[in-house]
Amino acid sequence: MQVLVTHPRSRHPRAFTLVELALTMAIMAVLASIAIPRYARSIANYRAAAAAQRIVADIRLAQSTARASSTTQTIDFIPGTSSTYSLAGIRDLDTAKTPYTVALNLEPYYAQILTLNSTKPSVVRMDGGLTLTFDGFGVPDGTFTIALRAGSVQRTITVEGTTGACTIQ
């Protein structure tokens, strides 16, 4: 007759070995090195798209304001490090005392206006800025393109000269 001796389970749970911890950390480092650049690109893509959509929404606001008031409405764009634009005659939505100005280089966009082009050269200023004017019928005074960049992602906004329709590319 054979006797089988079993050992009772240890009362202390087993801990992880140093090799297991090092292997887990190495796997996590590899996964993080793959995920972080993709995350950065997706954030840049989001910021560029949000900045472009904000510009288009404000262009439409200026166009509808011009139609509603039957007067001209202008938007002044300033490229470069400040990357701002302002809508003349419209007050800021948060504080009615200040003019409506958007700084694209600040949070949440962190974008930069790269270039401003127009089919009407007289609207491009000496400082590189551009003034987009809508007449009382909401028609712009030319075709405009605005190129902006957030991170490594670039978007181009085109304002069509006869209708004022905006497209983002």
pLDDT digits (tens, 9 = 90+) for 23-66: 999 999 999 888 888 888 999 999 999 999 999 999 999 999 99
Which helix (H) or strand (E) segment is 37 a member of? helix 18-69
Radius of gyration over alpha carbons of the chain, in Å?
Answer: 28
Whole-prediction pTM: 0.80
What percent of the chain clears pLDDT 70, i.e. is strictly above it? 92
Residues in the chain: 169
DSSP state of 7: P
Q: How far apart are CA 135 and CA 138, in angstroms?
A: 5
Q: Pull the structure tokens for residue 158.
A: 């085109």
Termini Cα distance of the chain: 85
Reduced to 3 states (helix: H, G, I; strand: E, B; else coil), residue 158 is strand
C-alpha to C-alpha distance for 18 and 34, rounded to whole angstroms: 25
- In order of their start, the domains of the chain are 18-168 (3.55.40.10)
pLDDT digits (tens, 9 = 90+) for 63-86: 999 999 999 999 999 998 889 999
φ/ψ of 138, rounded to 5, equals 80, 20
